[in-house]
Amino acid sequence: MILLTRSEEIVLLAIWKLKDNAYGVTIREQVSKDTGHEWSFGAIYKPLKKLVHKAYVEKASSEPYAERGGRSKYLYSLTLAGEKALKEIRKIYKAVWTEECKLSFD
């Protein structure tokens, strides 16, 4: 069974949504948009580091950008293991949040 922390799951989903444009700034923007809360870069990079270590995400350096003074960006992409982790965590949530679970959040 694959379990992700909530932060890892949210960051992983942001990378999936961003496709080929997933780097620190865009991931942070996507996560903030999705959650409705501003995330610090530290809150983004800590789960990113764990996701790379778990091989759910690959990190690669881009070509240098002239507007960045010739510096590269680190781009992140979902691996097959990352896709599997997202599918499995969704399956777990569906099983946990069943019809029998009648909670009132009012």
Percent of the chain beyond pLDDT 90? 68
- Per residue in 73-82, pLDDT (tens digit) is 899 999 999 9
In a domain, 1, yes or no: no
**Average pLDDT taken over every residue of the chain:** 88
In a domain, 84, yes or no: yes
Instruction: Over range 22-29, report the average pLDDT.
Output: 95
In a domain, 27, yes or no: yes
pLDDT of residue 5: 92
pLDDT of residue 1: 66
Query: Which residue range is the domain that position 51 belongs to?
Result: 6-96
Residues in contact with 16: Cβ distance below 8 Å, sequence separation at least 6, in sequence order: 78, 82, 83, 86
pLDDT at residue 48 is higher than 90: yes
- Per residue in 10-25, pLDDT (tens digit) is 999 999 999 999 999 9
For residues 30 and 18, is the Cβ–Cβ distance under 8 A?
yes
Question: Taking the model in full, what pTM does it have?
Answer: 0.83
**Number of domains making up the chain:** 1
CATH code of 72's domain = 1.10.10.10
In a domain, 105, yes or no: no
